[in-house]
Amino acid sequence: MRIALMSIDEARGKSHVILAIDEDEPGKYWSVLDGLGSMVKAVKLGWMAILSMGTSGVSELIRKNNDKYFIMDAKMADVNFINEKITRKLRSIGFNGVIIHGFIGSSNAPPPLLDIFVLVSMSQGPTLYDKSFSEALSYAKEIKRKGIVVPGNRPDLIRLARESFPMDVIISPGIGAQGGRIGCAVRSGADFGIVGRSIYESSDPVKALLELEKEAREARC
Ligand code: O7M
């Protein structure tokens, strides 16, 4: 098992951006991370990374970027014994955290072999989560977790989530390309914005990241 040099709590003190990379081309993962270097503290990879690079490629990427915290966006939603097996495998690949769907409930959630982040609403919809946000929060509350995923383009939901989850790490996608503003997400209670295309498709990813970090520190809506 990989010993992470960066925990999410340490990253929380240093940065407000979790970099998401969802690309076809394996070289793009390497070049984006090489270009941003130690400015990036936490990275979210998902199925595109696994499908493009394979588990060994992802494992190597994580190993070579050992100063960063890596979350696998599995959006896990199977039954408990399968979720546990998947979580063990993700841990052996080198991930530090995993994202699961909240609707599966605590009986299906994997044991906390990695930091668990529970998704309680989505940045694009409508989805079933929108029918009862408060119920989605109560499902998440029953799960042993490190944090929750709340849309960064819905500051109203972030505020409600922060009231119910004062100690959780709140991570928020939907920033930039999907309309959310990181300053407003942080002002509303998010710890991190999850940001993909606005950084990795930018002509100047370093500048894009620095501007996002500045806006997050100013924390204005
Ligand atoms: O910044 P983008 O729009 O290029 O990418 C957003 C990332 O956030 C991308 O990796 C999505 O899979 C993810 N995401 C959403 O866009 N919306 C959601 O509701 C949830 C996620 C997510 O990260 O779920 C864990």
User: Cα of 207 to ligand 1 centre, how many Å?
Assistant: 21
d(CA 29, CA 12): 23
User: Cα of 151 to ligand 1 centre, how many Å?
Assistant: 9
The mean of the pLDDT values for the chain is 97
pLDDT of residue 209: 98
User: Cα of 154 to ligand 1 centre, how many Å?
Assistant: 13
Structure tokens at 218: 């100013």
Ligand 1 atom at shortest distance from the alpha carbon of 73: 25
Amino acid (1-letter code) at residue 175: I
pLDDT of residue 1: 61
**Dihedral sign (CA 15, 165, 1, 101):** negative
Model confidence pLDDT, tens digit, residues 161-180: 999 999 999 999 999 999 99
Share of residues in the chain with pLDDT > 90 (%): 97
Ligand 1 atom at shortest distance from the alpha carbon of 195: 1
Q: Which residues pair with 76 in a beta bridge?
A: 100
Mean pLDDT, residues 21-44 taken together? 98
d(CA 130, CA 121): 7
Tokens 């399968």 sit on residue = 82
pLDDT of residue 5: 76
Tokens 């991570």 sit on residue = 171
Nearest to 98 by CA among 108, 83, 81: 83
Model confidence pLDDT, tens digit, residues 69-103: 999 999 999 999 999 999 999 999 999 999 999 99
Ligand 1 atom at shortest distance from the alpha carbon of 75: 25
Query: Confidence band (pLDDT; 50, 70, 90) for 153?
Result: very high
User: Cα of 140 to ligand 1 centre, how many Å?
Assistant: 19
Q: Is 122 in the pocket of ligand 1 (CB under 6 A)?
A: yes
User: Which position has the higher pLDDT, 13 or 23?
Assistant: 23
pLDDT of residue 13: 85
Mean pLDDT, residues 123-141 taken together? 97
pLDDT of residue 116: 98
Contacting residues for 32 by C-beta, under 8 A, at least 6 apart: 19, 21, 23, 199, 200, 205
Q: Is 176 in the pocket of ligand 1 (CB under 6 A)?
A: yes
User: Cα of 208 to ligand 1 centre, how many Å?
Assistant: 17
pTM: 0.97
pLDDT of residue 6: 86
Model confidence pLDDT, tens digit, residues 105-115: 999 999 999 99
Q: Is 119 in the pocket of ligand 1 (CB under 6 A)?
A: yes
pLDDT of residue 126: 95
